[in-house]
Amino acid sequence: MTAGSGIVHGEMFPLVHDDGDNHLRLFQIWLNLPSAKKMAKPAFVMHWAPDVQRATVDNGNVQAVVWAGTLFGAKGQPPPPDSWAHDDANDVGIYFLTCAPGASVTLPAAKGGASTNRTLYFFEGERVEVGGKVFSSKSAIDLDASIECAISVPAAGAGKETLLLVLQGKPIGEPVAQHGPFVMNTRAEIQQAFSDYQQTRFGGWPWPDDAMTFPKNKPRFALVDGVETLGPGGMPGLKGHHEL
> Is 32 in the same domain as 50?
no
Q: pLDDT band at 240, cuts 50/70/90? A: very low
Specify the pTM: 0.88
3-state secondary structure of 198: helix
Q: Is residue 159 in some structural domain? A: yes
Label residue 157 by pLDDT band (50, 70, 90): low
The reply to whether 83 and 125 lie within a common domain is: yes
pLDDT above 50 for 242: no
Residue of 88, 87, 107 whose CA lies nearest to 97: 107
Please give the average per-residue pLDDT across 118-131, as a whole number.
95
Contact 122, 141 (CB under 8 A): yes
DSSP string, 115-156: GSEEEEEEEESS-EEETTEEE-S-EEEEEETTS-EEEE--S-
> In total, how many domains does the chain have?
2
CA 228 to CA 223: how far, in whole Å?
A: 4
What is residue 107's three-state secondary structure? strand
Query: Would the pLDDT of 210 be above 50?
Result: yes
Instruction: Determine the structural domain holding residue 217 and report its residue range.
Output: 1-44+179-244
Same domain, 107 and 18: no
Q: How far apart are the first and last CA of the chain?
A: 12
91 in the same domain as 37 = no
Residue 162 lies in a domain: yes
In a domain, 174, yes or no: no
Query: Do 60 and 40 have their domain in common?
Result: no
Closest by alpha carbon to 141, among 121, 123, 155, 156?
121
Look at residue 239 and tell me whether its pLDDT is greater than 70: no
Q: What is the mean pLDDT of the chain?
A: 89
Strand 93-99's sheet: what is its strand order?
53-57, 62-68, 93-99, 162-169, 117-124, 139-144
Backbone angles phi, psi at 217, to 5 degrees: -85, 0
Residue 164 predicted with pLDDT over 60: yes
Q: Which of 211, 188, 193 is nearest to 7 (CA)?
A: 193
